[in-house]
Amino acid sequence: MDLMDAIDVRCSRRKYVKESIEDNKVVHLKNLIEKVNKEGDLNLQLILDDGRAFQSLKKSYGFSGVENYIGLVGKNDKLLREKIGYYGEKIVLEATRMGLGTCWVGGTFDKDACTCDIKTGESLIGVIAIGNVKKNSSIKEKLISNLIHRKTKTVEQMYESKEEVPAWFKDGMKAVQKAPSAINKQPVKFKFENGIVSARVNGDNEYEEIDLGIAKLHFQTGAKGGKWQWGNGAEFIK
């Protein structure tokens, strides 16, 4: 499975089976986390076999069997949320390639029960639940997913341009369409103007900058290369 396949098959999974993640996958995840932490100056952490953050029924509504998660920790900085989105989604797609289930979790977990190591000047922005799942979604998972899922926006609703856009831009937008976003709002608006791509969010809620980082990674993957500048409204160099 390549990254494009991972984008196609990924969907949020909320019911996990009680089977530890296999050792070879743990090693792969840890190496990737170390790499993105270096690249993004983050402190993401893999917490294994500890489901306490998902034990409170009230706080972790909709989830069951979560025993592992990635703590999304980093230094307080105005780009922190966007970087967490970009690098966190890199891990999500890699986990999908390995056949693991994932779900971004911004709200429905017990923050106080998280055992992440959070240093002075750092924050825990959220977690990504990760682990083994049954091949097909359970009925409850489907119900929750239907509850949250609004109809997916069309690609045309997600960008503006006064000119004809190239095929690589359309491919990038198709990958953005499949990106996870908080309550499936798909809030990131792309622009193609004089051959230059940019992406921005209104910043209406605390999750939008995470969604921005996630959407940027999907765009870059779909467009098969190119590099983003960091920041809301920043540009993409193909």
Ligand X SMILES: Cc1cc2nc3c(=O)[nH]c(=O)nc-3n(C[C@H](O)[C@H](O)[C@H](O)COP(=O)(O)O)c2cc1C
| C-alpha to C-alpha distance for 44 and 41, rounded to whole angstroms | 9
Contact 133, 163 (CB under 8 A): no
Q: What is the DSSP string of 40-94?
A: HTB--EEE-S--GGG--TTTTTT-BS---EEEEEEE--TTHHHHHHHHHHHHHHH
Which residue's structure tokens are 């396949």? Answer: 5
Q: Closest separation between CB of residue 195 and ligand X, Å? A: 29
Specify the residue, 92 or 192, whose C-beta has the smaller distance to ligand X.
92
* Under rule CB under 6 A, residue 159 binds ligand X: no
Contact 83, 230 (CB under 8 A): yes
Binding segment (CB under 6 A) for ligand X, from list 29-37, 153-161, 205-213, 222-230: 205-213
* Under rule CB under 6 A, residue 180 binds ligand X: yes
| Residue with the shortest CB distance to ligand X | 180
Q: Which of residues 47-86 bind ligand X (CB under 6 A)?
A: 62
Q: How far apart are the first and last CA of the chain?
A: 24
Of the candidates 224, 204, 228, the one whose C-alpha atom is nearest the C-alpha of residue 214 is 228
* Under rule CB under 6 A, residue 177 binds ligand X: no
Contact 141, 70 (CB under 8 A): no
* Under rule CB under 6 A, residue 27 binds ligand X: no
| C-alpha to C-alpha distance for 177 and 154, rounded to whole angstroms | 7
Binding segment (CB under 6 A) for ligand X, from list 28-36, 160-168, 207-215, 226-234: 207-215
* Under rule CB under 6 A, residue 11 binds ligand X: yes
Using only C-alpha atoms, what is the Rg of the chain? Answer: 17
Identify the residue among 184, 189, 191, 205 touching ligand X (CB under 6 A). 184
| C-alpha to C-alpha distance for 154 and 159, rounded to whole angstroms | 9
Binding mask 116-145 for ligand X (x = CB under 6 A): -----------------------------x
Specify the residue, 7 or 223, whose C-beta has the smaller distance to ligand X.
7
Contact 42, 30 (CB under 8 A): no
Q: Closest separation between CB of residue 174 and ligand X, Å? A: 14
Q: Closest separation between CB of residue 193 and ligand X, Å? A: 27
* Under rule CB under 6 A, residue 161 binds ligand X: no
Name the residues that contact ligand X, by CB under 6 A.
Answer: 11-12, 14, 62, 103-108, 145, 148-149, 180-184, 207, 210-211, 214
